[in-house]
Chain A
Amino acid sequence: MTRIGVVTFPGSLDDRDALRAVRLAGAEPVALWHDDADLHGVDAVVLPGGFSYGDYLRCGAIARFSAAMGSIVDAARAGLPVLGICNGFQILCEAHLLPGALTRNQHLHFRNRDQVLRVEHTGTAWTNGYAQGQEILIPVKNGEGCYVADPRTLDELEAEGRVVFRYVGGNPNGSQRDIAGVRNAAGNVVGLMPHPEHAIEALTGPSVDGLGMFTSVLAHLGAPAAATAGAPDGR
């Protein structure tokens, strides 16, 4: 069975939800520990949301230098699929696996709401199960989710199809060009501020649209998704 690791840092909040999403998608969830450089043979890694190391200095700045991240950076450069959610996205930017940075929300408020995103690119390990331009509804909850990069980098991202998700129906944090998520050049590393792991079943989420990211990586790895996971719906 495909094994997907979820790293727990001191201050991670959504690691349990991410492990659950992995399981519902049909993979074997593997709990990884920030202080352990051993990735235990996982086929993909999720960096969950939360406040790693208390968000001290900058969000993700200290987590980047953890033992687990040292191994993940090397593995990601060799093609390991990595998904960074919220704080995980911040960590990926700090680790220079993704361009840009996440800064304080422009309006200074913590924003917590269900958010419509448009899937702008389906050629990644984590979005191949969506339709190009599909709109999905998943929760966003952050205080420092304003995506910034210099204009040249933004232009490159747009030109190379590396903007993976864009906010629709209102930008919750002031992110430049409404960018909610980006990918690396190879497409194995994706980061986004909203939380797909909170939209995986009707009981607890506003939709099941988030499950598509976890089933996409299974397809990418050539593994079957759980029968109960189904395909991401076309809402």
Chain B
Amino acid sequence: MARVVVDVMLKPEILDPAGQAVAGALPRLGVSDVASVRIGKRVEIEFTGEPDLDRAREIADKLLANPVIEDFSIRVEDTPAPAGARAASGPVDAVAGCDPVEPNVSVQTPAALPADTPLVPAQPEGEPGQ
């Protein structure tokens, strides 16, 4: 079963005091070369059928992220799949915030494919063509 992963991050201009507190603790670990730490949320969504990126984007936009303070990105995550289904498991990234412009969706073929695998454009079933 493929999983849709939504990463939610505070917008760059929004102060992240929790991240600052973590960054402030790092010197106690002997780490002194970290400029900043920002904390977000990772949400994993498993659909009963094929992963539906449009639906996941709607979920993220309406509930998972608050567009006033947060951006989110969506991707389909690799899960172990039967041979022959590999082409449908490439990472798909879509970045969206409160920007009404349709987010870019880049589709990459996994680099780890065997050499004899046909490099068809990875277009998971059910994914909207964009």
Contact = CB atoms under 8 A, between A and B. Distances in A.
Q: Answer whether A and B are interacting partners.
A: yes
B15 A106 contact: yes
Interface in A101-135: 101, 103-108
Contacts of A205: none
Contacts of A57: 41, 63-64
Contact of A148 (B21, B41, B68): B68
A94 interface: yes
B69 A103 contact: yes
Nearest to A59: B66
A104 B63 contact: no
Given A61-B63, A65-B63, A101 B68 contact: yes
Contact of B66 (A94, A104, A150): A94
A66 B66 CA distance: 17
A106 B64 contact: no
A149 B64 contact: no
A103 B21 contact: no
A224 interface: no
A108 B68 contact: no
Listed residue (B10, B13, B63, B66) with the most chain A CB atoms within 10 angstroms of its CB: B66
Contact of B14 (A62, A65, A103, A108): A103
Interface residues of B, number: 13
Interface of A is mostly: loop
Nearest to A151: B13
Contacts of A65: 63
B100 to A, nearest CB: 15
Contacts, number: 37
Nearest to A104: B17
Nearest to A153: B68
How many chain A residues sit at the interface, stated as a range, is 20 to 34
B63 A108 contact: no
Contacts of A54: none
A190 interface: no
A93 interface: yes
Contacts of A220: none
A150 B66 CA distance: 13
Nearest to B63: A61
B17 A107 contact: yes
A95 to B, nearest CB: 11
A108 B21 contact: yes
Contacts of A20: none
Nearest to A105: B17
B123 to A, nearest CB: 31
Contacts of B13: 150
Nearest to A109: B17
Contacts of A70: none
Given A106-B15, A108-B17, A101 B63 contact: no
A58 interface: yes
19 contacts: A57-B41, A61-B66, A62-B63, A65-B63, A94-B66, A99-B68, A100-B68, A101-B66, A101-B68, A101-B69, A103-B10, A103-B14, A104-B18, A108-B17, A108-B18, A148-B14, A148-B68, A148-B69, A150-B13
Interface of A: 57-58, 61-62, 65, 93-94, 99-101, 103-108, 146, 148-150, 174
Please provide the 10 A-B residue pairs with the shortest distance between their CB atoms, ordered closest to farther.
Answer: A101-B68, A101-B69, A108-B17, A106-B17, A104-B17, A101-B66, A58-B66, A108-B21, A103-B69, A148-B69
